[in-house]
Amino acid sequence: MKVVYSAPNRAHHYGYARDLHQAGMLKSFVCGFSRFSPRAPIPEIGTALKRVDMVQTIYMASLKLRMGHFVSDELAHWAKIQLDQRARQSLEGADLFLFYNGCGLNSARHFQRNGGITIVEAVNSHVLVQEQLLREEYQRLNLAWRPFHIRETRRRVAEVEEADYVLLPSTFVARSFLSKGISANRLLLVPYPMQKIAGTSAGVPAHKNDDAVFRVLYVGSISVRKGLSYLIEAFRRLKYPKRELWIVGPVARPSGLENTALPEGVKFFGPLKGEALKAVYLQATVFCLPSIEEGLALVLSEALSHGVPVIATENTGIEDLLVDGRGGMTVPIRDAVAICDCLKRLAEDKWLLEKKRHEAGEWASCVSCNGRDTTTVSATLSRTYHQHRSYQESIWKR
């Protein structure tokens, strides 16, 4: 079986391409990640790489130059269309076409007409669920709502409706597609591979938060999607003599904090990497991710890999990382009271805190993530291909 895989960036997509190549399944990896990035090379897959990065590179530049939403949205849309056009040129001789949502509508239609199997990859919830959640959040914060790019949205919806299957990273994402009428037998759940962060060791890493400060850590962009206002309100409600909230990450516009008064103890660090980022993890008591919507937040595995217990909303994919709540706690979205209750329990119950920390340490020492399903994308695609072909053959024989 030969697979053509199309994706606009690096993220986990490089890992998927390597996995497919190692399994002897990768025909072409059509990728939009800029060749000018020092992280661009992927020599393991050789000539299977087909880089289509001109428009995507201009799009990334438009974000850095803050050229405006209209320009950036149009560039992002056309970058995906460019990937779609290039992918079609690689499909001859392939058996299966896997493509990132928005990057393969025309190629998928052509491929299906010629008997190929198509799988659209969705890294977030269904685009209409995303839009609804974010529209609601903007309204709650009294911020001007800017609808999603309409042509991009239509393409994404059409791809999901027409593809044979949808590849998803979490149970939360699967629920969003079920809510939009997508049949469960078309959904393929494959959580991203979670590995220990370099430099962490088995068991609980040596923490440096021995200053009696109950320190809450957040790492990620400061944006409306991340729901930081609820974490700040929860922190405001937390009554504890020595407490701090450390916020690490770049500031978006809008941030969602425009009308939020900051309580004492909140500290902003900006983006951190490498040893600087590791240092804040090691000084954290607990990690909190209050996101309104995410497919599967990799930052949760970062925290767990440093032995830090996590508190996260049910819309982050946390249930696919933890088993029976080991190493963390789950809360509803937009619920500062629930977040505060979790923080209070950990702050006041030292035994519970140490138990959660120990469980996080166990997670860090086990790449299978406490028994979580670690099926690779190549194994999933291979199984799906053979099942699909068997089903088609049974139909033909009737």
How confident is the model over 47-80, as pLDDT tens digits?
999 999 999 999 999 988 988 889 999 999 999 9
pLDDT tier at 210 (50, 70, 90 boundaries)? low
Average confidence (pLDDT) over 27-46: 96
**Average pLDDT value for residue range 298-319:** 95
The pair of structure tokens assigned to 35 is 């060749």
Which amino acid, 60? M
301 near 279, Cβ under 8 Å? no
| Higher pLDDT, residue 370 or 161 | 161
pLDDT band at 368 (very low <50, low <70, confident <90, very high): very low
Average pLDDT, the chain: 92
pLDDT in tens, 150-204: 999 999 999 999 999 999 999 999 999 999 999 999 999 999 876 555 444 444 4
Q: What is the CATH number of domain 3-190+375-397?
A: 3.40.50
- Print burial letters for 295-310: b (CB count within 10 Å at least 16), e (below 16): bbbebbbbbbbbbbbb
Q: Which residues contact 27 (CB under 8 A, 6 or more apart)?
A: 2, 3, 4, 48, 90, 93, 94
Tokens 């072909």 appear where? 389
Cα–Cα separations (whole angstroms), residue 188 to 5, 60, 181, 296, 375: 16, 30, 15, 14, 11
Q: What are the residue ranges spanned by the domains of the chain?
A: 3-190+375-397, 214-364
Whether residue 331 has pLDDT greater than 80: yes
Which residues make beta-bridge pairs with 188? 167
**Average pLDDT value for residue range 33-45:** 96
pLDDT for the residue numbered 367: 46
Locate 265 and state its tokens: 């103890």
Query: What are the residues whose beta carbons fall under 8 Å from the beta carbon of 134, sequence distance 6 or more?
Result: 145, 224, 225, 292, 293
The torsion region of residue 213 among left (phi > 0), alpha (psi -120 to 50) and beta comes to beta
pLDDT at residue 381, as a whole number: 97
Q: Convert the pLDDT of each residue in 102-159 to its tens digit.
A: 999 999 999 999 999 999 999 999 999 999 999 999 999 999 999 999 999 999 999 9
| Domain 214-364 class in CATH | alpha beta
pLDDT of residue 397: 63
Fold: same for 3-190+375-397 and 214-364: yes
Residue 31 and residue 50 in contact, taking contact as beta carbons nearer than 8 Å: yes
| Whether pLDDT at 220 is above 90 | yes
Which helix (H) or strand (E) segment is 72 a member of? helix 69-90
Q: Which two tokens stand for residue 67?
A: 């050229």
Which neighbouring-strand residues pair with 243?
214
CA dist list (Å): 13 to 31, 44, 172, 246, 307: 9, 14, 20, 30, 27
pLDDT higher at 197 or 14: 14
The rounded percent of the chain whose pLDDT value lies above 90 is 84
E-strand ranges in 122-258 read 165-168, 187-189, 214-219, 243-248
* Residue 57: Cβ-neighbour burial (10 angstroms; 0-12, 13-18, 19+): middle
Closest by CA position to 328, among listed 314, 316, 345, 310: 310
pLDDT at 312: 98
Confidence of residue 208 (pLDDT cuts 50, 70, 90): low
Q: How far is CA 296 from the centre of its chain?
A: 4
Of 205 and 131, the structure prediction assigns the larger pLDDT to 131
